[in-house]
Amino acid sequence: MPFRPSLAALAVISMLATPVAALAESAPVTVKVNMARILRINAPASTVIIGNPGIADAAIQDPQTLVLTGKSYGQTNLIVLDAQGNPIADTMIEVVQEQAGLVTVYMGDKRTSLACEPVCQPIIMLGDDQGYTGETIGSASAVAAAAN
């Protein structure tokens, strides 16, 4: 008599053979530099791996919620594993620059950036002049210290 698996057994086998795709694998997940984004996944995550942690960072907020933060421009990948080390998701991450309201000023070879919504304020972007970046960080630190 030939072997005939039941429909229930076939369903279990097919679920075990195919990892759960929690994130769309066809299109990259986009996040802006210096911004965070919430990602919901279909199964509880135990481990999150970022291919290049200089480009993005990810943290587990709760077992099915990740917080993705853009750190630098570029692409990297995100791998999410369950408690047994099985892959839940494997997707590309693209970190992009905010375009709306951004003004870039060039003075010779020195570049500065301003966020101009609703009024222009200095911001720090990758590639800005180091002196400008230092002054902007110093101003932000002084304001933060005064608030304490």
How do residues 40-85 score in pLDDT, each as one tens digit? 999 999 999 999 999 999 999 999 999 999 998 899 999 999 999 9
- Is the pLDDT at 19 greater than 80? The verdict is no
Closest to 76 in 3D by CA, of 47, 96, 59, 61: 96
Compute the mean pLDDT over every residue in the chain, rounded to the nearest whole number.
81
More confident residue, 99 or 22: 99
Using CB atoms within 10 A of its CB, is residue 78 exposed (0-12), middle (13-18) or buried (19+)?
buried
Give mean pLDDT, residues 93-101: 84
List domains and CATH numbers for the chain: 29-96 (2.60.40), 102-142 (no CATH)
Q: Which residues pair with 81 in a beta bridge?
A: 47, 87
In which band, very low, low, confident or very high, does the pLDDT at 101 lie, cut at 50, 70 and 90? confident
Per-residue pLDDT, 11: 37
Phi and psi (nearest 5°) for 66? -110, 150
One DSSP character per residue, 99-125 reads -TTEEEEEETTEEEEEEESSSEEEE--
How do residues 102-130 score in pLDDT, each as one tens digit? 888 898 889 888 888 888 888 877 788 88
